[in-house]
Structures are given as C-alpha cells and as structure tokens.
Structure 1
Amino acid sequence: MTAAVHAVHESFAATPMLQERQQDTSFRTNGTSSSSKGDEVEVRTVTLGPWATLNQTLQFRSADAQFWWNTTGRTYAKLLHYAGYTSAEQYRELTFYALFAAPELGLAPDAAGRVQGWRSPGTPDGTPIDFSWEWSTDGRATVRYAFEPIGRHAGTPSDPLNRQATDRWVSRLSEQDMIPGLDLEWYRHFTQQVLPPDDMDRSDQFIEETTPKAGTVVALDIEKTGPVLKMYIYPGLKARELGISTLQMVQQAIRNLPRVQYEALNAEPVLDWLEEATVKYDCEMGLFGIDCLVPEDARLKLYARAPHVSMEYLMDVLTLGGRAPLDESTDAIADLQDFWNLFLADAPAVLPADAPGRASPGFYYTLGCGKALSPKIYLLASYGCKSDSDVLAKLRTFFSTRRSDGMIDRYEKALREIL
C-alpha cells in the first residue's frame, strides 16, 4: 500500500480577477532577435508562446467562450509552460482546450464578477473550472483540470440538473476519437446506477456549500501522450430519494458491476471500513471517481471526509482501521505526518461545527482491477493559512529537506504570474 498527499490550493480556481492581467500575452522562450551598435551585437530571446500565438488566430463565435479562453486559457497555458511541457505538447493541449473546454463553461460573469446562470459548486467562488498541478519525486509534473460542462438550459425546467451537457460532451469526444483509449462502459454503468432521472428538480435542500448532491464533473490528466479522461459522480440526490446513504448507493453500484470486474476490484475491505468510519468519525461520502478507460485498466476512487485532524484519525484512514498495515520501511509515512502537522498543527482534534465543509480533511481510496489499494489524503491548505504566501511558505518548509527537483520553484513562478 502506498500513501500520498494532495494539498488543494483554492487560488488555482481560475476566477474573473484574471482579467486585469490579460494584457500580458507572451512568454519569454527560445528564439532570437538582434540589434547592433557599432561593433557590438546584442542577442535577445523574444518569441511569443503557444497561447499567444493561438490567441492571435482563434476567434470564438460566443462572447462567453471568448471570455473563458482569455482568462482560463491563459492560466492553463502558464501551468503547462512552467510544468515543463514542450511547445508541441502545449499547442496540442491548448487547441483541445479551446475546442472542447472553454465553450462548455457557461455564461461569463457579469461586470461585477458575479456568476451568472448555473453556479458550479466545484470551486469556492462558483468558477466552473479548477486547475491543479501534480508532481512526483522524480521531477515529473502533470497538469490537470476539472470542470462541469454547462448546458444552455441548465437549471431550467427542461434541464434542471444540467445532465444534458455532460452526456453530449462525452459522446462528442467518443465519436470524434479525441481521447486516447477512451472507453465509456463504466461511465454508462455508474451514471445509470446513481444519478436521478433527468426531470428531477434540483432543490436547494439537496445542495450544500461544498458538494452537489447529483451530477457529474469531467476531469483530464494531461499526460505527455495526451489527456486521460476521468469522471466524478455525485450520488446524493438519488440516495436521498431512495432513503439510503450515499455510501449505500455507491456500494450497490459497485456490487452491480459484472461479477468478474467486481471481484477483481476487491472493494469489500474498503466498503467495510467506510461503514466503520461513518460511525467512528462521522465520515461522509460525497462522490466517487472513475477513469474512462476499459475496465481492466480503469481505476475507481472512493472519496470521504470527516471533521477530524488527529494523528489517530490519519493512521486509521491510511490503514483502513488496521485492516491493511502500512509498510513502515519507507519514508512515506513520516513525510505524510510532517505534512499533516505543518498545515494542521494549530487545528483542534475535531473541527468546530461552524467550520466550512471544505475545511474537513478528506481522503480517497483508489481501486483497480487486480491492483493494490492506494489511500490518499487531501487538505484545503488555505483553511489553516493566512494567505497564498503563507501556503507557499509552508510548502517551501516541507520541501526544504526533501528532493523536489526545482518543482516548488516552478510552481511558485506559475502561481505568481497567474495571480
């Protein structure tokens, strides 16, 4: 079993404040221009980056899509640049983003920066897309983004749950063969199992500050060979209609997989532990995720969170309450404990009832057919920090005694240019 950490940085949500930086449309990359004065020759690097080049070429028919490209597209470009993607990879992914992501983000904010139309609950301020950056100890960086495709009639009587846009988007990618290895078997199975009927009304009583109770969010990991599509699915609304918990809803969906797939996942130890954690820690399962790959290659991710920050809670989460002992011969446990203490040292053992839902530390378990279980922790870093600078300072403290291959420097440069 392996352990990993995801520190969630709220500022990566691409918000309308990026408008004030739109005038800066170029990167300094490799290229030459020269000027001479007497016998002296000066050589400088002055070429435009892929985003700026595409920006001079692309013209969107929709003013809303143009807005999202100008703001979020620029953010995405800077992440790709600093994460070390080649120019060819940047052109490929930015073109895909322009064609298949920016036009799906709904209405642009109004003049005061307020969300209009469908409000996506995936980010703190309702921005419909969330960027992230994953790095590993070998120096590799993977940029990722997640968003909820927003249909023209989202939230109206003809599409109260915004179900139509995602189905159309996924079908379009499949028909045009835009994602390497894309397979929709699990997408069809789980959406049919856990999503409510299209005509069910979305009432405020089913929506809370952190998590939609129904619907899907699409996500892409930008691997160097091309994007990998993932889906996040929220089962809460149908579970409530059936009078069962979200965990029970997901348990049913997993157990209704074809028998060979269900047995290969070996999900029962995790499902048993989640039942125990619901009682012991008041854990709540809000969503689960899948890879849109053939089932033998796909992963299933089960997400939960609780308002606990004690070391006992952390170790219980990592070991499934003692069901799966950890390999203590590696540095992973000590690293995770140091990271946990760095960001949560001042927090009480149990967060107060009035703490925002996003403040509760979360965890998820990754299952794959015939693969070892992988538990992971994620934190909202900003809850225990005063500012973005404080978050970065703590990350620097953590990596000061650990190898990062300069990744923290590149990450900070990207953040400072974006924000």
Structure 2
Amino acid sequence: MIIPNIPSEHLYRIMAPHAEPYTPSFTTLKSEADVDRVKTPLETIDATLAFKTPNHIFWWARTGPQLATLLHHAGYTPSDQYTELLFYALHIIPSLGPAPAIDGTLQWKSPQTPDGTPLDLSWEWGLDGKGVIRTSFEPIGPLAGTAADPSNSYETDRWIRHLESQGLVKGLDLEWYGYFASSVLPDAAEAQIQRTNKLDFELAPDAGTFVTRDVDLTKGPIVKMYMFPGLRAQQVGGRTSNLDVVERAIRGLPKEQFDALAPDPLLDFLDEATQKWNMEVGIFSFDLLKPESSRIKLYTRAPHTSIEYLMDALTLGGRQSISMYSEEAFADLKDFWKIFIGEAPAVLPSGGKERAGPGFYFTIKAGKPATPKVYISPASFCESDAEVLKRLWRFFETRRKPGKMLEQMEKYEKALEEMYGSQFLRDQCDVHFYIGCALEVDQLRVVTYMCPQILSREDLGRNGQSK
C-alpha cells in the first residue's frame, strides 16, 4: 500500500486553484501496524472520494478535518460521523464557491464570519454531556462576484431545490420559503442593492441569505433559512425599517398560521424596544418545515449591557410570564451574562463595540409562547479566544452540577487546540464570533459559534507566519 508524501511547503500550492501543477511522490507504508490501524471516518472518506475541481479540493482539505474533529470530540459515533461528513462533502462543499487564488484574491467574500470564510460551525452544549454540531454557510455560486452574478443571487435557491429534488432532508417543506423569499428578500427585478454603512454594519450578504443544517441525532437534520430584511428595507426606501419588513411579512401569512403563531406580544415589544433600547432586527430565520412545525426566529441587538435590558427582553417588556423558570436558571443566566460581558459600560460607545452589542433571538412557533435566547460577541469583551475558553471554564465550574459540562469542556478545548493550535487561540479573538445561551426550566443551554478562520490562516501562510 502506498500513500502520497507531500512536502509541507507545497500543500498550499496543491490545494489552491490556479496553482502550478505538482506531482506528489509516493512512499511505502513502513510497518504492518500502519496497515492494521483502523482508519478514522475522515481518512476513509479522503481515500474514497475524488473531488474534481481545485475549489472542492481546497474547501474539503481546509474544512473537512475541522468538522471531523468537532464531531469526534462531541461524542458522535463513527457511523454518525460518516453520515455527517459524507453529507458535508457531497452537498455542502460544492456550494462554498471559488477558493482563493494563490495570491489571496477571493472572487466572493462572505460577510458572515470575521475573515470572510463562507462557513461557520457551532457546538451546542448538550445536557447529556455530548455536543450537537451544526454547519452554517452562505451558498456561493461559481460565478458569484462576476458580471454574470454580481450579487450571488442564485446559489441558495439552487441548493435548496437540490435538497428537495434528491429527498435529502426528511420533512423538508418549502411553503414558507417561497412566501418569505418574496416578502423579506429584495426584489431581484428592481435595481441592484447599493452597499451602505448600515448594511455593512448588519453584515448582510448581497443576496440576503445563508443556511444552516442542524446535525441533531435526536430530532434528525433540520435545514434553517436566514434572511436579511435590511436589504429589502433599503430597496423600499423612505423610513422603512427592518422590523417593518419582518412585521409585514408575518402579518401577511394566512390567518390560521398567523393566529397559531400569536406573534403580537413579540412584535409589540420589538416596536417598543426600538425606542427604549435602540434595538434593531438584523436577521429573520425559519425552519424549512411545514408551517405548523416550523419556528420563526428574529435576531436583534442593542448597545446595552445592563441586567435591566436583559430582563426586559426575557419578559417581552412585561408582556410574558417567566414563572416557568427556576431561580437557579435565572442565576445561571445572570452569571453567564456577567462573566462574558464583564465590566462593560451599561451603554456601549458608538463607533465600535455597539456593532456586536449583546443581542437576543426570539423564537415563535404555532401553539407556543415566544422564547428569547441570548447571544454575545466575545470579541467585544475578551482579549483572545484563549480568554473565551477561560471564561467558559469559569461558568461551568461554578454550576451546581458541573460534572458532565466539565467533561464536555475538556473535549471542546481539546478540539479547538487540535483545530487551531494554542498559539493561534492566544493571539486573536475571532474564532468564537458568538456565544449564546437559552433558559431551560432549571438550567441554561449554551451554544458556541466558531469561524473556521480558513482565509485568515491562508493569509498567515502566505506571509510566512505560523497557522
């Protein structure tokens, strides 16, 4: 049996599109132990799949190992790792767009992550001691950023239609996709969107969409659609706000769907919070499921950090009872808030941290009350990703029953050190671009959102620095 022996200095040249051809040398495996060693799911897939384009080769080589590392340390069985890695390789990798050229030029740069990588990965801290891994990405077409597709307008729809035609996600339903695409996204027939400081501030992709696939082994995979109402608000013009766009879309649903959602308390609070907290709606999201099963999520933020702001959002300005949650759960939430926000002022100064002020996403679903969840950008309050890890340790170590969470924390930290290296985690603070939490009856459910940092590390490699 032979394997390629590729010198490290040639790795970038092989994986980058437009790189000069390179012929790898081959060496014989040195011992029977190497032959007998059981391959990991990633190694087996590497040896089986043959990617046909430099773009696919690049994205798989850079991101496949990261996803595999998270799945392994999160406690996924080898069988489940195969399932998720194969789906990722076959159905997501081809939609990550052109890879950077050898000089670093990128045809389409996603605004959704700190360095423009079109993918983010998240780890939900399961209460059973195992993580739930999700992949979110902006589908990017092969001609995105060119005269043929200047706004990357087609790939998200193509990807969703591909899932539907191939029957790849059980329960996939596109009723709301068709409706909300026409009522929340900009009208493609009208003039092209002009970038503004406000849209840049909101990190809105030009096409206004990205998608997430939950890798939840209990519920099964769920595809979520994310839309940026700021693009349509700009197109409509006048004093139209993002909230105006979202509210009109929700109120335009069929009466039975609107009544089942019972969104008035949430919409009234958001209107009030616009004045009270300078709260803005940034993202509108929903599951690609039948309307009676789908959740709608509204992502908001404001430049405030006080406990008063936190509690006002949790109660929808006093419109909703929170008596179902225990005192211990509220204590956990306040500790989480204080640990990650630290000594920040009650109102963040303009021109900087307010871009990533603490926010909430509010979920509504047929027959259920609205539920708020917290998300915070650590880059606004921490010096490095290593510090983020320390604060996570501090939070979990001080809980009433920390056992399973501390075991999971060890696995999480090990995964990140394998993915990025300790030095990289100490040097910057853009791996964790969001952390979030949600109230359960008597505890918190924590989620961390990570940027793979593919493009930033490619830049470091070109500049001769360690990745």
Normalised by the length of structure 2, the TM-score is: 0.78
Other-structure match for 2:265: 269
Other-structure match for 1:248: 244
Deviations 1:1-24 (A, max 9, x none): xxxxxxxxxxxxxxxxx979x9xx
CA contact (8 A) 1:210 1:357 kept: no
How far has the Cα of 1:356 moved from its partner? 4.3
How far has the Cα of 1:370 moved from its partner? 0.5
Other-structure match for 1:415: 416
Which contiguous aligned blocks of 4+ residues in structure 1 show a shift greater than 6 angstroms? none
How far has the Cα of 1:204 moved from its partner? 2.2
User: Percentage identity across aligned positions?
Assistant: 48
Q: How does 1:1-16 map to 2 (within 5 A)?
A: none
Structure 1 unmatched ranges of 5 or more: 1-17, 23-32, 36-43
Is residue 2:348 matched to residue 1:351? Answer: yes
Match of 2:299 among 295, 298, 303: 303
How far has the Cα of 1:330 moved from its partner? 4.0
Inter-partner Cα distance in structure 2 for 1:292 and 1:19:
37
Other-structure match for 1:153: 143
How far has the Cα of 1:210 moved from its partner? 4.1
Inter-partner Cα distance in structure 1 for 2:36 and 2:379:
37
Other-structure match for 1:25: none
Inter-partner Cα distance in structure 1 for 2:353 and 2:109:
18
Q: Aligned in 2, Cα 1:375/1:142: closer, same or farther, shift over 3 Å?
A: same
CA contact (8 A) 1:209 1:357 kept: no
| Between 345-354 and 114-123, the greater mean CA deviation after superposition | 114-123
Other-structure match for 2:95: 104
Is residue 2:226 matched to residue 1:232? Answer: yes
Structure 2 unmatched ranges of 5 or more: 1-10, 16-30, 421-467
Query: What code does the residue aligned with 2:391 have?
Result: K
Is residue 2:255 matched to residue 1:259? Answer: yes
How far has the Cα of 1:250 moved from its partner? 0.4
Query: What code does the residue aligned with 1:322 have?
Result: G
Inter-partner Cα distance in structure 2 for 1:300 and 1:179:
19
Q: Aligned in 2, Cα 1:407/1:293: closer, same or farther, shift over 3 Å?
A: same
Secondary structure of the equivalent of 1:143? strand
Query: What code does the residue aligned with 1:237 have?
Result: L
Inter-partner Cα distance in structure 2 for 1:187 and 1:303:
18
Inter-partner Cα distance in structure 1 for 2:253 and 2:388:
42
CA contact (8 A) 1:144 1:222 kept: yes
Other-structure match for 1:374: 371
Inter-partner Cα distance in structure 1 for 2:79 and 2:254:
41
Other-structure match for 2:133: 143
Query: What code does the residue aligned with 1:278 have?
Result: T
Other-structure match for 1:391: 388
Is residue 2:184 matched to residue 1:198? Answer: no
Secondary structure of the equivalent of 2:200? coil
CA contact (8 A) 1:121 1:209 kept: no
Secondary structure of the equivalent of 1:331? helix
CA contact (8 A) 1:159 1:198 kept: no
Q: How does 1:9-408 map to 2 (within 5 A)?
A: 46-111=37-102, 114=104, 116-199=106-189, 200-205=191-196, 207-212=199-204, 214-224=207-217, 226-243=220-237, 244-327=240-323, 329-402=326-399, 403=402, 405=404, 406-408=407-409
CA contact (8 A) 2:348 2:354 kept: no
Query: What code does the residue aligned with 1:418 have?
Result: M
How far has the Cα of 1:115 moved from its partner? 5.5
How far has the Cα of 1:359 moved from its partner? 2.3
Inter-partner Cα distance in structure 2 for 1:68 and 1:178:
21
Inter-partner Cα distance in structure 1 for 2:49 and 2:56:
11
Query: What code does the residue aligned with 2:293 have?
Result: D
Inter-partner Cα distance in structure 2 for 1:231 and 1:336:
28
| Between 280-289 and 137-146, the greater mean CA deviation after superposition | 137-146
How far has the Cα of 1:223 moved from its partner? 1.2
Other-structure match for 1:7: none
CA contact (8 A) 1:216 1:234 kept: yes
Inter-partner Cα distance in structure 2 for 1:55 and 1:254:
45
CA contact (8 A) 2:209 2:228 kept: yes
Q: Aligned in 2, Cα 1:106/1:356: closer, same or farther, shift over 3 Å?
A: farther
How far has the Cα of 1:236 moved from its partner? 1.0
How far has the Cα of 1:382 moved from its partner? 2.9
Inter-partner Cα distance in structure 2 for 1:210 and 1:259:
31
How far has the Cα of 1:321 moved from its partner? 1.1
Query: What code does the residue aligned with 2:279 have?
Result: C
Inter-partner Cα distance in structure 2 for 1:256 and 1:353:
35
How far has the Cα of 1:401 moved from its partner? 2.3
Q: Aligned in 2, Cα 1:358/1:92: closer, same or farther, shift over 3 Å?
A: farther
Inter-partner Cα distance in structure 2 for 1:418 and 1:256:
45
Greater relative contact order (Cα 8 A, min sep 6): structure 1 or 2?
Answer: 1
| Between 164-173 and 199-208, the greater mean CA deviation after superposition | 199-208
Secondary structure of the equivalent of 1:133? strand
| Between 308-317 and 192-201, the greater mean CA deviation after superposition | 192-201
How far has the Cα of 1:45 moved from its partner? 9.4
Secondary structure of the equivalent of 1:160? coil
Inter-partner Cα distance in structure 2 for 1:242 and 1:221:
33
How far has the Cα of 1:196 moved from its partner? 1.5
Query: What code does the residue aligned with 1:103 have?
Result: P
How far has the Cα of 1:211 moved from its partner? 1.8
CA contact (8 A) 2:224 2:285 kept: yes
Other-structure match for 1:5: none
How far has the Cα of 1:350 moved from its partner? 0.9
Deviations 1:331-384 (A, max 9, x none): 221101001111112211111112145421110111100123211000112321
Inter-partner Cα distance in structure 1 for 2:272 and 2:210:
28
Other-structure match for 2:25: none
